Amino acid sequence: MKSPYAVQVFDLLHRPGEMRERELDITVPEGFGNAVIGVPTGAQLHIDLRMESLHDGILVSAEVDGEAVGECVRCLIEMRIPLEVELQELFAYSQDEAFEYEVQDDTIDLEPVVRDAVVLSLPFQPVCQEDCLGLCPQCGVRLLDNPGHEHEAPVDPRWAALAGLAGETGESAEDVDGAENNGATEEKR
């Protein structure tokens, strides 16, 4: 099956100085991106392509437009960000270690070049907005939707046994604290 990223260049081969421009609208056959955001399968990419024939190969300059889909790393809501990526790469006529890509059978395959450029342009940790507060660590409520969200202060389990002691003597914890503070004051006198 022929790749939608494949472009015929037989009219440019070994004709230095020749130039062609094309526009490609691609339905992405296989999604790509990082763990949190990427271009999903079936998404549309628009590529404005400029191909220039050189002595060594064909210089490809392109602007890729599309949309990436993912989720905010702080609050986990779905987010969409526009993609606008520029790239430039030389597709060599012969196999040479100096060039990563080459012309094969009068065709250039833009898929690895586009994939690399788009993935590198994606944010490593996308956020829905710069001041996103994330989720409540106790109940998972999105904090931007509930700005006054609070929980009671948790009781430290190391001190929970002492709170039980105050209840056995019939005094409240405040009474015990007050008595201790008075005793400390009397000792200082």
- pLDDT tens digits, one per residue of 107-127: 899 999 999 999 999 999 999
Amino acid identity, position 5: Y
For residue 1, the model assigns a pLDDT of 46
Question: For residues 95 and 101, what is the distance between their CA atoms, to the nearest angstrom?
Answer: 8
For residue 11, the model assigns a pLDDT of 86
Strands 78-92, 101-102: pairing kind: parallel
User: How distant, in Å, are the alpha carbons of 23, 38, 106, 122 from that of 91?
Assistant: 18, 26, 11, 24
Residue 60, pLDDT above cutoff 80: yes
Question: For residues 38 and 19, what is the distance between their CA atoms, to the nearest angstrom?
Answer: 32
Q: How confident is the model at residue 52 (pLDDT cuts 50, 70, 90)?
A: very high
User: How distant, in Å, are the alpha carbons of 91, 92, 94, 146 from that of 99?
Assistant: 7, 6, 9, 54
Residue 60 pairs in a beta bridge with 51, 89
Instruction: Please state, rounded to an integer, the average pLDDT across all residues of the chain.
Output: 83
Predicted confidence (pLDDT) per residue in 21-50, tens digit:
999 999 999 999 988 999 999 999 999 999
> What's the predicted TM-score (pTM) here?
0.70
Q: How confident is the model at residue 189 (pLDDT cuts 50, 70, 90)?
A: very low
